[in-house]
């Protein structure tokens, strides 16, 4: 067995982004939860050694708008990865299910269509209490975990590209 790329780096390992930046697309809806996710994400990026000037944050109205923002960011070719952050809290109507599905499918499509890793840091919770627990509470901070996923995938993609560019492509 041959491992492609480095083992996952323990924090705080400074990532080699190949001169690119990390984009964070962050929804504003459910503001209290969303801000905690964003804070956790930015703190983790800094802990992992991403320079401040290599982090760009794009704010969007809600989670439904995340895929469009992620696509626009990815297509610029300036980013090694895009972190998508938002919080959906179930209500009394099927609106939650529609938005959650569109958001998840859209973010996945961006990564697959552009080849730019997109980390899914969108909470889909039944209650605000569950969301707060996952945004820096008892369940950790999913914004920080999404930052880790983005950096790990960026490293993997860079290793695959380097391997492909090597003589013989292997």
- Residues marked active site are found at 95
Distance, C-alpha 141 to centroid of its chain: 13
Query: DSSP code of 24?
Result: E
User: What is the chain's length?
Assistant: 170
29: tokens are 């809806």
Torsion sign over Cα 93, 95, 98, 99: negative
Tell me how far CA of residue 69 lies from CA of 7, 36, 61, 65, 84, in angstroms. Answer: 30, 20, 10, 6, 9
56 contacts: CB under 8 Å, gap ≥ 6: 21, 22, 23, 24, 73, 78, 79
């Amino acid at each position: 067995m041959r491992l492609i790329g480095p083992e996952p780096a323990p924090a705080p390992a400074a990532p080699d982004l190949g001169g690119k930046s990390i984009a964070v697309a962050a929804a504003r809806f459910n503001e209290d939860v969303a801000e905690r996710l964003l804070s956790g994400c930015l703190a983790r990026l800094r802990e992992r050694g991403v320079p401040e000037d290599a982090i760009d944050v794009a704010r969007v109205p809600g989670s439904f708008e995340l895929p469009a923002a992620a696509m626009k960011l990815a297509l610029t070719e300036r980013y090694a990865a895009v972190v998508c952050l938002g919080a959906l809290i179930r209500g009394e109507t099927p609106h939650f299910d529609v938005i959650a599905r569109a958001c998840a499918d859209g973010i996945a499509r961006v990564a697959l269509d552009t080849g730019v890793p997109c980390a899914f840091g969108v909470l889909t919770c039944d209650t605000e209490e569950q969301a707060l627990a996952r945004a820096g509470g008892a369940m950790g901070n999913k914004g920080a975990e999404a930052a880790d996923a983005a950096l790990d995938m960026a490293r993997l993609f860079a290793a695959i590209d380097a391997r492909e560019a090597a003589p013989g492509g292997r």
